[in-house]
Homo-oligomer: A and B are copies of this chain.
C-alpha cells in the first residue's frame, strides 16, 4: 500500500454552503487562493446548483473565474444536473462532482428524487463530460446512517458506488453525512466497496459530529483507502445533521497523516494560519483542535 495520502479540501464548497451568514465573494476567492498556496492538490471550489435552492452559492461563476488556479491542482465544482454542468463548463471548470445518497429517504428530502432518478439525471452529464474531457467525481451521502431512515445497508452503498464508478466517476467519495459512523462500521463499509470497485478510486468523507471522524479515517487507512475529504477549520456541517460540528477539519487530518509518517504534501502550520483567518472572517469558532492548539499560548 502506498504511503501517499491525497486530501480533497472541501471547505470552500461543502463548508461555506452550510454557513448561515452570506460570505462575500471576495472572501471565498481569497480562501481558495490561500488554500492553493498551502500546497493542496485538490480544492472543491463551489457548486453550480440553482441559486433558488442555495442562494449562498449564486456567485459560483464569479468565484470560479475569480481565483488564481495553480497548474496541476484540481478544482472540482459540484453540479446537480445538466443545467449546472453547462454553467460550470461555461465558467471554465475542468472537473465536476455529482452527488447522490445511499438513503432513499435522504435522497427524496434533499433532492426530491429517488436514488435511481438522480443516477438517470447524471447520464447526460457523463456523456457530455466525456466529450468535453471533463473529469467527474461522485459523492454518496449517508453511507453510515441517515437522519430519516437510520441504518443503511452496506450492500446498498457498494451497489451505488459501483454504479457511479461504472458510469464514469474516476473517484467516489463515501460520505458519513451525519457523522454517526464508528471505526468497525467504516472499515466494513470500505472493505465491501473495495470488493466491487478499485480501492484506489474510493475516498472517505467523514463528519466529526460525534468526534469519530479521525478514528474512521484510521480504519479506512488500514484497509487501503488513501483519499479523504476534509474542510479547513472544520467549516460546514450538514444542515440535516444534529450537532454543531461539521466536516472533519483538514488540520486535524494532516496532523494525523504526517504523524503516522505518511505523506500528503501539506503542513499543519500554513493550514492553521488559513483556518484561523477564515474562522475570524466568518466570526465563528475554529472547529479544528489541531488548528486551535497551534495558536494556543503555552
Q: Are B242 and A298 in contact (CB under 8 A)?
A: yes
Beyond the given A244-B292, A244-B296, could you list 8 further A-B residue pairs with CB under 8 A, ordered by the A residue number? A183-B218, A183-B260, A208-B289, A209-B293, A211-B288, A215-B218, A218-B219, A243-B293
Chain B residues closer than 8 Å to A179, beta-carbon distance: 293
Alpha-carbon separation in the docked complex, A183 to B240 (Å): 31
CB of A261 within 8 Å of the partner chain: yes
Q: Are A256 and B215 in contact (CB under 8 A)?
A: yes
Q: How large is the interface on A (under 10, 10 to 19, 20 to 34, 35 or more residues)?
A: 35 or more
Counting every copy of the chain, the complex holds 2
Q: Are A242 and B210 in contact (CB under 8 A)?
A: no
Q: Are A184 and B219 in contact (CB under 8 A)?
A: no
Q: Are B289 and A210 in contact (CB under 8 A)?
A: yes
Indicate which residue in B215, B242, B245 contacts A215 across the interface (CB closer than 8 Å). Answer: B215
Chain B residues closer than 8 Å to A184, beta-carbon distance: 259-261
Alpha-carbon separation in the docked complex, A211 to B297 (Å): 17
Considering the complex, which residues of chain A in the window 248-284 have a beta carbon less than 8 Å from any beta carbon of chain B?
A: 249, 252, 255-256, 259-261
Chain B residues closer than 8 Å to A290, beta-carbon distance: 210-211
Complex interface bits, A155-175 against B, C-beta within 8 A gives 1, otherwise 0: 000000000000000000000
